Amino acid sequence: MSDTTSPELPNTAAEGPLSYALFQLARAHRAHAAAMLRAMNLHPGQELLLMQLFDRDGQTQAELLERAGLDHSTVSKSLRRMQEAGLLTREPASHDRRVMVVHLTDAGRALQEPIAEMWRTLERVSVRDLTPEQVQEFITCARIVEKSVRDHGRQPLAE
């Protein structure tokens, strides 16, 4: 069994131990994923856009923005970098020249299996000390927390 103890919480973080644990988890997971992505000359978040395009090539930037769950500036910057790297093309849609349609290049399509393998490896590392039941329970809890946070963010601010 692995060590599940963590350093003592800062006093202020003790007011929100779950939130602090989520922050630490997200930071560690993202750092590990980023290192794996760097080995493929990708930046974090670019793999999420590529995954969407692997499933359905020829999406608009707005569709990618919505499906990937990333903010507008991140998507725009990532798509520009990926276009410069030769992984995709962006061209105006025939129905509306203001709408940009994104297509994978052969180089972009070639990353599908390496990204899938990276994702499998990241999953194995992440769950190696958990039972299948614990993994499922964690996923369920994580989705509940995510929904709660998202729903709260949609509520109007109290005056």
pLDDT tens string 2-29? 455 566 778 888 889 999 999 999 999 9
Residue 157 in domain: no
CATH value at residue 34: 1.10.10.10
Residue 87 in domain: yes
pLDDT band, residue 74 (cuts 50/70/90): confident
Task: Read off the pLDDT of each residue in 143-158 and give the average, rounded to a whole number.
Answer: 83
pTM (2 decimals)?
0.81
Report yes or no: 145 and 22 within 8 Å, Cβ to Cβ. yes
Residue 3 in domain: no
Long-range contact pairs involving 86-92 (C-beta distance under 8 Å, separation at least 24):
87/50, 87/111, 88/53, 90/61
Parent domain of 65: 17-152
Residue 158 has what pLDDT? 57
